Amino acid sequence: MAEQRPTGELASELRRAVRGRVDFSAAARALMTMDASNYRRVPAGVVAPRDTDDVAAALEICRRFGVPVVPRGGGTSIAGQATGTGVVLDFTRHMNAVLTVDEDSATAVVQPGAVLDTLVQAVRPLGLTFGPDPSTHSRCTLGGMIGNNACGAHSVAWGTTADNVRALTVMAYDGTPHRLAKGVKGPNGPGGPPGLGPLVDAHLALLRTGYPQDLPRRISGYALDALLPENGTDLARAFCGSEGTLAVLTEATVRLVPAPPARALAVLGYPDESAAADAAAGLLPYRPLTVEGMARDLVPDGRGLPRGAAWLFAETGGDTPAAARAAAKTLLRASDALDATVVDDPAAMRALWRIREDAAGTATRTPDGAEAWPGWEDCAVPPARLGAYLRDFRALLAAHGLRGAPYGHFGEGCVHVRIDFDLLTAPGVRAFRRFSEETADLVVAHGGSLSGEHGDGQARAELLPKMYGEELVALFARFKDLWDPDGGMNPGMLVRPHRLDEGLRFAVLPSAPVDTVFGYHADGGDFAGAVRRCVGVAKCRTEKPGTDSVMCPSFRATGEEEHSTRGRARLLHEMLAGEVVRDGWRSTEVRDALDLCLSCKGCRSDCPVGVDMAAYKAEFLHHHYAGRLRPRSHYAMGGLPRWLRAAAPLARPLNALAGIRPLASAARLLAGIDPRRPLPKLAPTTLTRLLDGLPADGPASAVLWPDTFTQHLAPAAGLAAVRVLRAAGLPVTLPAGPVCCGLTHISTGRLTRARAVLRRTLDTVEPLLDLGIPVTVLEPSCAATLKTDLPELLGDDPRAARLASSVRTFAQTLEEYAPRWTPPRLGREIAGQTHCHQHSVLGDAAERRLRARAGLSGELSGGCCGLAGNFGFERGHYEVSVACAGEQLLPAVRAAVPGTEILADGFSCRTQLDQLAGVRARHLAEVLAEGLERP
């Protein structure tokens, strides 16, 4: 390539020529330094083209400046091929549409940035689907799938992406457009660059003999054998899996397949993974839709699976549920499983598939909490040899002193595994290289492919000569050079590759632990270790909310990578690295990205590796504003417990003053509150004062926690809880003085203040901890803070762990300590919100069971209400707050029939419903207490 010219000049030229977004800022570059692999490269800048003309303009300028180009989809590649040092083309922003669907030909035309689930949802009403379905289907793009020749669980039935591509429109680095399809001819042979036909003709024997046979998951290298005349000279197929090294994809015509109207899942248990692998190939004659495998080291508790230490998930389809179930039972009879079951309830099937889909993240932590990484992620062998390969692979792991949890597409001989490589030290990296080289030899000995799904990228391309030999790999280079003589398309991948042990993303992180306030006990007390949790699988980039998930509401509201959990983790990684984001804790790039984090803690449960961005945000704000003035809202809403205690004696006159518009506006301005937010009314009498007049009815069986919100803003919920707990035979007591979980201090990053508040709280409640009774916390956000943040902030105080272990929700207290109590039968429908912290930290199983016993039917919405404590009140957050509420909560409540009970245990959720929908929601305790008063 030509010598590169200054990036400032390049950026200016691109901004003049490209109508889409051109961003060379530190934040934009930091967000694109990594994919889901072990590798890191800093790009020059990011271009989000609006259309093909923008692509052509960007390529022309990059070629003129001698700058390489990296096409990027969802950035979930595991081999490093979505990283690069030139200009990253981000197709997810604009070129992301399903353009047309042709039901007659069962095809669709898509742009490269279209997310797979978007296509699937578009064609579902026609009874069609796109066959390949990687576990990242909710965020991976069709362009990325074509670039990697992605597969997924259902390729047993419907093949790889290459099997489902009909035609491609691409643009070479020199700006030449090409239309690629099976049998398409150009002046020099098949469509594509000049010289391609003669290249194939000169190497027919090599192309016919150089590729392994009987290998459905041969993803490694270029598929040049697709250009053989007997294979139809299919250049579209040959382009699939080229990892952005040949040209830029701008449009694709893909095949659709009939989607079975009904499905069932046969879950087969085996004594070990090798037995499961040996059995997988035997199920293929029965034409299942999937044959997936995993072992107990990935699912230690079995999670209700059949007896065994390894399992096969074999999905079947049918025109009716009975037909699908019958097909699954046929698999059971044909198998030699130790134990088996058939699941056809859609919710139960989703729960089981979630175990499998989350494996790419959960496998990054071994059972003892150690880190595990990709690097030998997805090799494939002929299915009949999978059991033998796994036995040899396990032996090789043991010989190197390594651990990993193999899982994956057993029906096609494809194994995924994350291994506890030491990628932080030079000896560990050397051991990583030795293991990779020896495992490549093992895969080849079993007739396999180094990559069975995710592509070679940097992780395996260096080892391709072991699989294909030097002559065929040299032919790969000549093929690449015909397409890209300037070497501008994603250099360092597939041919003339970077070394597999260079450019590792961990090398730039500080070697010594960073001084922090939170303990990060699960990460060895190391903030860098906590940030490393994000491996980039990007579940946080899911565009549609799930009923069983929260993460990541700010990304769904904005569509911006920097407002996803992954994006924020990437910026924190680069902050620690100090190369792109250079201001450390004072970084404005990190501050701005974290500003729209709602601290919902959804990532703590929904992220497969348990990233806790709420804690990272609090940590960052603590350091960012150390010794400096903070935003007004940090003082006003961060100090809310203190202000409310001071205001309590003046509640009535203060409420009256808040009704005077100019005074309310001035108060909002001083407090940093959005002018569109009404100020909540103070309770005329606090909860503790209301309870002072109630006579005692025996020794206390539970502590009622007077959290700030219940104490000063919603005491009715507290009174109701006391009535219900007493009716259940659980007299309550309150702490002898003021207590606070520190939530508002934590969410605004005032961690020194939070620690002081929590220590005083422990002093107050210490006598109650000796009683051995539950501490019942009505406000989910406060309960979650006591459960998770308290031990992290005061890990040196044993009382912190004692209090955390004593905390129960209202429903948990009733279920555990009054199991024989019968709640009133209310017999009505419900709608409303499960608090995001309840979902993420506490779980709502006890609440569901209590509602069912009380005759409250229906489901509460998932997601986040969008108010999220101080977040929705702060200036600059209103639009995002409203957008979050509009995802699930507001539609669910507005669709409720008259007489539906609106439930929301969180004060924020109730406030959001009141302010945005004019609906009064109640705590479950209030509804049950009302039922007690009825005959």
Q: Please write the tens of the pLDDT for every residue from 406-420.
A: 899 999 999 999 999
- Are 741 and 747 spatial neighbours (Cβ–Cβ below 8 Å)? no
Checking if the pLDDT of 811 tops 90, the result is yes
Mean pLDDT of 513-523: 95
- What is the model's pLDDT at position 548? 73
**Is the pLDDT confidence value at 56 over 80?**
yes
Output the pLDDT for position 359: 65
Mean pLDDT of 68-95: 96
Residue 457 has pLDDT above 60, yes or no: yes
CA angle, 467 then 481 then 487, to 5°: 105
Tokens of 564: 């996803």
Give the count of beta carbons closer than 10 Å to the beta carbon of residue 603.
29
pLDDT at 189: 44
Confidence check: pLDDT of 431 > 60: yes
Distance CA 146, CA 167 (A): 11
Classify residue 368 by burial, with Cβ atoms within 10 Å: 0-12, 13-18, 19+: exposed
pLDDT-derived band at 187 (thresholds 50, 70, 90) equals very low
Tokens at 486, concatenated: 């300037």
Cis preceding-peptide flag for 414 (omega within 30 of 0): no
Cβ pair 156, 412 in contact under 8 A: yes
pLDDT of residue 188: 43
Residue range 358-379: mean pLDDT, rounded: 77
* Whether residue 935 has pLDDT greater than 80: no
pLDDT reading at 395 higher than 90:
yes
Secondary structure of residue 83 in the 3-state scheme:
coil
Asked if pLDDT for residue 23 goes beyond 50, the answer is yes
Reply yes or no on whether the pLDDT at 366 is more than 80: no
Which helix (H) or strand (E) covers residue 663, if one does?
helix 661-671
The mean of the pLDDT values for the chain is 94
CA–CA gap between residue 389 and residue 273 (Å, rounded)? 11
What is d(CA 886, CA 905) in angstroms, rounded to the nearest whole number?
Answer: 19
Each residue's pLDDT tens digit, 901-932: 999 999 999 999 999 999 999 999 999 999 99
Helix (H) or strand (E) holding 360: helix 359-362
Give per-residue pLDDT as tens, 496-517.
999 999 999 999 999 889 999 9
Q: How remote is the C-alpha of 193 from its chain's centroid?
A: 39
DSSP state string for 179-230:
EEEBT-EETTEESSSTTHHHHHHTTHHHHHHSS-SS-TT--SS--GGGGSGG
Listed in sequence order, the residues at least 6 apart from 318 whose beta carbon sits closer than 8 Å to its beta carbon are: 260, 261, 262, 263, 264, 324, 325, 326, 327
- Other Cβ atoms within 10 Å of 532 Cβ, number: 23
Q: What is the pLDDT of residues 767-782, one digit of tens each?
A: 999 999 999 999 999 9
Residues 6+ apart with CB under 8 A from 614: 597, 599, 600, 601, 603, 604, 747
The secondary structure of 846-866, three-state, reads: HHHHHHHHCCEECCCECCCCC
Mean pLDDT of the region 137-150: 96
Q: Is the pLDDT of residue 794 over 50?
A: yes
Residue 353 has what pLDDT?
83
For residues 403 and 372, the answer to whether their CB atoms sit within 8 Å is yes
Q: What is the reported pLDDT for 854?
A: 97
The per-residue pLDDT for 608 is 87
Q: If phi over 0 gives left and psi between -120 and 50 gives alpha, with beta otherwise, what is residue 520? A: left
Position 284 pLDDT exceeds 70: yes
CA-CA distance, 252 to 235, in Å (whole number)?
A: 13
Helix axes 613-624, 588-595, angle to 10 degrees: 130
The pLDDT, as a whole number, for residue 893 is: 96
Q: Is the pLDDT of residue 7 over 90?
A: no
3-state secondary structure of 761: helix
**Average pLDDT of the residues in 58-74:** 97
Question: Residue 447's pLDDT is what?
Answer: 96
What is the tens place of the pLDDT at every residue in 617-662? 999 999 999 999 999 999 999 999 999 999 999 999 999 999 999 9
Q: What is the pLDDT of residue 543?
A: 81
